[in-house]
Amino acid sequence: MALIFTVLDGRRHNREDFTCGVAELDDYLRRRAGQHQRDGIATTHVLIDDAEPVRILGYCSLSAAQLHLHELREDDRKRLPAYPVPAIRMGRLAVSNTKQGRGYGQLLLGHAVNLAVSVRQTMGVRVLIVDAKDERAAAFYEGFGFRRTASAALTLYLPVGSS
């Protein structure tokens, strides 16, 4: 058994059997993730076990974004020009009901951070943004160093790479 991250492939990955307990997240994977990928809106990265590669254990969706400079904490604004900050948005993160509590959410988050750091090497990216579903989710992200934005309590950001 080896866990692998890969980009969603609707012909290969079974989206219909994925259930995380949040209807909106299940629906996104089943009905919109593929379309968003084809349209260049977001990519969905799935976590699979190489022994059963059609089964999705969890996923996160990523897209290009920006964050207004005033949304960053004052110490995070140092040396930045006065225009929106380039970002990557993790729009959704979900883990299958059968795999919750095993650290897969942390693995997916780490994957998103690693991708943001990798993109930063070839293109401007300053922060990874998440829109937490609720306070419990916000606390999860804060546990990994995310900071709340100035105006939206459930939008958080993580500086990417060296400052």
Total number of domains constituting the chain: 1
Please state, in angstroms and rounded to a whole number, the distance separating the CA atoms of residues 1 and 107: 16
Residue range 80-88: average pLDDT?
A: 92
The DSSP string of 31-78 is IIHHHHHHTTS-EEEEEEETTEEEEEEEEEEEEEEEE-GGGS-GGGST
Domain range for 114 is 3-159
Cβ proximity of 144 and 128 under 8 Å: no
pLDDT band at residue 150, thresholds of 50, 70 and 90? confident
Q: Report DSSP state, residue 147.
A: E
Task: For residue 59, indicate whether it is catalytic.
Answer: no
Q: Which among 28, 59, 104, 141 is annotated as catalytic?
A: 141
| CATH code of the domain in which 12 resides | 3.40.630.30
Residue range 118-133: average pLDDT?
A: 93
Note the pTM of the prediction, 2 decimals.
0.92
